[in-house]
Structure 1
Amino acid sequence: MESLYDSVASLFRTAPSITADAAVDRTDRVAVEKPRASPESARQGKGNADDLAELARQEAAAERARRSRELRRTQLQATPLPNPGKMDDLTKENQDVLSVPTYDGVRVEYHKPVVNARDKSLTYSHLLWLGPAHLQGGSSYEFATQLNMTNCTLMAQLDTSGMLNGRYHHQWTPSLLSKVQFAVAPAAKRQFDMALVEMDYSGSDYSANLKCSHDGMVVGSYLQSLSSTVSTGIECLFHPADYSLHSRYVGRFDNKSGGDNFCVSLLDQGTFNLSYTRRVSPRLTLASDFKFDPNNRESTAKVGYKWSLRQAQFRGAIDSNGVVSGALDETISPMMRFSVNGEIDHFANTYKFGFGVSVG
């Protein structure tokens, strides 16, 4: 009995190890019997991973493009387009260089301020011109006065022949300006009578102008900024005498930081005008102008310069017709200026020479 008991006890002591070994054998068999992935399944999984990577790259590119558009829109909203100015001033800087003031004879001006208050000022002037070419209407003397108030300006000129010229400007709002210009001549010079009404409107990034004359002629213009440096516009003229309508198309590039000003205009008849102004330095400005008319196949070109010093200014120009002109304007004192100018036409064999003094 005792030996039987020992045999049964030893059997129970060895049973757990047998059970554990059997479990390990079953686990190994399951691991060995687990099916392996086929080559086709591996290639399909790799293709899915490539598709997901390509999709991620496309989404990242779309997100970058969206952020770029939002940044550009934010920059445009933060920096609005500038006002392009008036159509009449489109080539003002170019003409300021090329339009050299020349005359023949002696010109004397005297300006006297009568009222110089904060909200108004009144000034009168005397103009005396001695030479072969006189003022408009053949007069050699002219009296002028100018009244400036907060929102309006009134100017008038009267010469010895009895001809009266006047201007009236009224600033209704910061954006709206109206102008009236007229001329009244004596009975013997009725051909100089005229009247012109003009309205200017300046928007945030555009400007519009409308003119109406006494003979029924109407001129309208519109100028729009496309960017901080580029603007374009159109001007139309209607003449009721022959019911004709003409148009002019303009474009301008003005890089104020770089000093370049480029303007081009095209008339409906085909006349082409191109002007370029270069601000080389704060003292020196160069300008050129080119015009071409395809109807008669004629063209003209002109180049000039303006050199500004502390108390003097030199201007000179030469064109393709052989006309050479130059002018010097010097400030002698805060109340006196002296000017001298000359012009010679080599083809016509004519010349001009004049000097003037302005006091006041």
Structure 2
Amino acid sequence: MGAVVSHASAAAPPPPPPGYAPTFADAASSAPPPLTPPGTGKDAAAVAEEEEEEGEKVDYMNLPCPVPYEDLQREAMMALRIDTFEGFRFDFIKGITPFFSLCHSVSMVSMELPSQGADVIKVPTSNYEFGANYLHPKMVLMGRVSHDGRLSARTKWDPSENLCVKINAQLTSEPHYSQGMLHCDYKGKDFRTQLQLGNGAYYGGNYIQSVTKNLSLGTEFFWIGQHRKSGVGFAARYDTKKMVATGQIATTGVVSLSYVQKVSEKVSLASDFMYNPMAKDVTASFGYDYMLRQCRLRGKIDTNGVVSALLEEHMAPGVNFNLSAEVDHWKKDYKFGFGMSIGE
């Protein structure tokens, strides 16, 4: 769009003098000016996109529902909290009905023993677990029992579209090591809230609210009656189509920051920063998450000198192969593992 200038009526330029040869500077000066608005160095499409973003008004009566408080850093966790393992692991899942399945898990790994020196002491060990899963759109029941008597169970029940009840429990033969937790989640139009009850007189809760289309703020509290400890935390999350930035701080002094850059639909780069004054520990890590057609590659490196990588290969429908590696340069500890999973 714009004014149309006709060159037919313009007078023809005088001919160049004999022996004249145009230079590069003359050709550049005679070229038509770029299609940029006055006073800007951007093209019209970029300026129009910026004007559209600036002119978009925030509809505070129609804000999106934020992510759960416990999942504020889920994008960063996918790349930085990878499930590396050592040794061999094999999982077999057998579907009985469309909602019910049984699973068997065998692992042969090395268990680290505490030592006073810097050397790492490992003892080979093995483990077998038998589990059952019931997966329904409104209810999920999962249970695992190991050969040494440990029992773990998870329950998720959705009585309505806005209410969710979750129960996690772990029972062991050792005294004071059994745990249980009850979560009640409520999902509103533009907010989420959660109440928590656990053993040891644990009481907690959190609330997160969407402030704008991209920004959400939240807070949490907890009280442990058995240890007479309490705390309050605050969090913020800013997410767009290209990035996610989060920040959390608690009265215990813990500070957690994370940033994820979405390079494309299949590639993400992540980093985080953790400061714990109680343990006098400061850690920063950088990682990546790369989704290929039939595999997924994740890796990270942190300031403690630990380098980790995990490869998940989909060899065939229902058949997955995993490769895990971790190197701790400071402790001179090396871990390598591979695993196989069969079944849907």
Sort the TM-score into its range (normalised by shorter chain): 0.7 to 0.9
The structure with the greater share of residues assigned to helix is 1
CA 1:261–1:159: 2 relative to 1, 3 Å: same
Q: Report the alpha carbon displacement of residue 150 of structure 1 after superposing the two structures with TM.
A: 4.3
Query: 1:20 corresponds to which residue?
Result: none
2:87 is the alignment partner of 1:109: no
Q: Please say if residues 90 and 106 of structure 2, whose CA atoms lie closer than 8 Å, have aligned partners that are also in contact.
A: yes
The residue identity in structure 2 corresponding to 1:133 is M
Give the distance between the partners of 2:64 and 2:238, measured in 1 at CA. Answer: 13
2:326 is the alignment partner of 1:343: yes
Query: 1:133 corresponds to which residue?
Result: 111
Q: Please say if residues 108 and 126 of structure 2, whose CA atoms lie closer than 8 Å, have aligned partners that are also in contact.
A: no
Q: After the TM superposition, which residues 143-162 of structure 1 pair with which residues of structure 2 at under 5 Å, given as runs?
A: 143-162=130-149
2:101 aligned to 112, 116, 123, which one? 123
> What SS does the corresponding residue of 2:79 show, helix, strand or coil?
helix
Q: Which runs of 4+ in 1 moved over 6 A?
A: none
Give the distance between the partners of 2:167 and 2:330, measured in 1 at CA. Answer: 40
Tell me the TM-score normalized by structure 1.
0.73
Give the distance between the partners of 2:280 and 2:159, measured in 1 at CA. Answer: 46
Q: After the TM superposition, which residues 198-347 of structure 1 pair with which residues of structure 2 at under 5 Å, given as runs?
A: 198-255=183-240, 257=241, 259-293=242-276, 298-347=281-330
The residue identity in structure 2 corresponding to 1:172 is P
2:74 is the alignment partner of 1:92: yes
Query: 1:185 corresponds to which residue?
Result: 172
1:255-293 per-residue CA deviation (whole Å, 9 max, x = no partner) reads: 1x2x11000111113322110001101121000001224
> What SS does the corresponding residue of 2:97 show, helix, strand or coil?
strand
The residue identity in structure 2 corresponding to 1:155 is M
Q: Please say if residues 86 and 335 of structure 2, whose CA atoms lie closer than 8 Å, have aligned partners that are also in contact.
A: yes
Query: 2:64 corresponds to which residue?
Result: 82
Q: Which has the larger radius of gyration?
A: 1
RMSD of Structure 2 on Structure 1 (CA): 2.0
Query: 1:62 corresponds to which residue?
Result: none
The residue identity in structure 2 corresponding to 1:218 is Y
CA 1:354–1:81: 2 relative to 1, 3 Å: same
Q: Please say if residues 104 and 133 of structure 1, whose CA atoms lie closer than 8 Å, have aligned partners that are also in contact.
A: no
Give the distance between the partners of 1:176 and 1:72, measured in 2 at CA. Answer: 33
Judge which range, 341-350 or 138-147, deviates more. 138-147
Structure 1 residues without counterparts, runs of 5 or longer: 1-70
Give the distance between the partners of 1:211 and 1:269, measured in 2 at CA. Answer: 19
Give the distance between the partners of 2:280 and 2:170, measured in 1 at CA. Answer: 37
Q: Identity across aligned pairs (percent)?
A: 29
1:93-152 per-residue CA deviation (whole Å, 9 max, x = no partner) reads: 100011122111000000111001xxxx00110000012139xxx761000111123421
Give the distance between the partners of 1:293 and 1:150, measured in 2 at CA. Answer: 39
